[in-house]
Amino acid sequence: MDIGFIGLGNMGYPMARRLVEAGHKLVVYDTSGQMMSRLTSLGAVAAKSAKDVADQVETVMASLPTPDIVLAVATGKDGVIEGKKVKRFLDLSTTGSRMAVKVADALKVKNITAIDLPVSGGVGGAEKGTLAVMYAGPRDGFDELKSVISVIGKPFFVGEKAGMGQTMKLCNNLLSATATAASSEAIVFGVKAGLDPTTMVEVINAGSGRNTATEDKFPKSILPRTFTFGFAMGLMYKDVKLCLEEAEAAGAPMRIASAVRDLWQLANDEIGPDKDFTEIIKVLERRAGVEVKGRRNG
């Protein structure tokens, strides 16, 4: 299939690369010429703008960092909406349901179908093609695109209404953010009380407290003190904040999530939005006067 791909960042590049390697003709655009060059060397075709992508293919995918950027790329000047050939816009970003509806309504005027297609699984999942891919849009479109989506991960049909995929993604990311925040609090407390953090993680992962943070983020990024998991602090805070805003608009109370958001906001302000999100533990370490370090680091 001929596919357009806009946004070649930490998540976008490995997904686009997998599509090229699977034999799809890919037309790509990114503000970074270097990232486009990496893909054109694999056989992709470089475009000059989002509009240029949409002039060349019927199916356009986008993986972008913020809702406002998605709106601009999809509906702004030289955006997808001005393309001559495009028929479908698949948004792999995390924007929230209200923005997804706004984009869908704008594109519908031009007979372009907007499809929620957020993903979960991190950079590692994008590289391996093991992402959870949440599709919300026309059912017949899901059946048609399933083989393409399967290149980047496991596709799930979550509904036909615009925004349903985004709601699913925000619920997922809230749980991921909560697991990381709560696990960081628990491990810091244990270290302060004299426990070894590596032993703590091993015990938790053998017991009922195990979660995605203790199984993945602590061993790979926190205990070795590399903090290179591959997702920005600012993006995690954005997702949690957006989830609470969407829940409030829907009339669904979220008391635990409010506390989680406050901790991520503190980490975002204190550590910095560009830092790896696993550095949230440093906020707790500073206040407890300890450092969580795996045995291999002494």
Q: Are 25 and 45 in contact (CB under 8 A)?
A: yes
- Whose CA is closest to 236, among 68, 66, 72? 66
Question: What is the CATH number assigned to the segment(s) 167-297?
Answer: 1.10.1040.10
Measured CA to CA, the distance from residue 47 to residue 76 in angstroms comes to 17
Q: What are the residue numbers of the active site?
A: 169
Q: Are 4 and 54 in contact (CB under 8 A)?
A: yes
Give pLDDT, residue 123. Answer: 87
What average pLDDT does the segment 6-31 reach?
94
36-88 per-position pLDDT tens digit: 999 999 999 999 999 999 999 999 999 999 999 999 999 999 999 999 999 99
Sequence-distant (≥ 6) Cβ neighbours of residue 23 within 8 angstroms? none
| Domain chopping of the chain, boundaries | 2-162, 167-297
pLDDT band at 298 (very low <50, low <70, confident <90, very high): very low
DSSP class of residue 237? H
Q: What share of the chain is helix, strand, coil (3-state, %, to 5)?
A: 55, 15, 30
The percentage of residues in the chain with a pLDDT greater than 70, rounded to a whole number, is 99
Q: Do the two domains 2-162 and 167-297 of this chain adopt the same fold?
A: no
Better-predicted residue by pLDDT, 237 or 298: 237
Question: What is the CATH number assigned to the segment(s) 2-162?
Answer: 3.40.50.720
Measured CA to CA, the distance from residue 211 to residue 204 in angstroms comes to 9
Give pLDDT, residue 25. Answer: 94
Can you give the C-alpha Rg of the chain in angstroms?
20
Whose tokens are 């809702």? That residue is: 67
117-147 per-position pLDDT tens digit: 999 988 889 999 999 999 999 999 999 999 9
DSSP code string of 253-281: --HHHHHHHHHHHHHHHHH-TTSBGGGHH
Give pLDDT, residue 297. Answer: 47
Taking the mean position of all CA atoms in its chain, how far away is CA 290? 31
- Whose CA is closest to 227, among 284, 280, 174? 280
Q: For all residues of the chain together, what is the average pLDDT?
A: 95
pLDDT of residue 168 exceeding 70? yes
pLDDT band at 296 (very low <50, low <70, confident <90, very high): low
What would the two tokens of residue 50 be? 């989002």
Helix (H, G, I), strand (E, B) or coil at 157: strand
176-226 per-position pLDDT tens digit: 999 999 999 999 999 999 999 999 999 999 999 999 999 999 999 999 999
206-218 per-position pLDDT tens digit: 999 999 999 999 9
pLDDT band at 274 (very low <50, low <70, confident <90, very high): very high
pTM greater than the 0.85 cutoff = yes
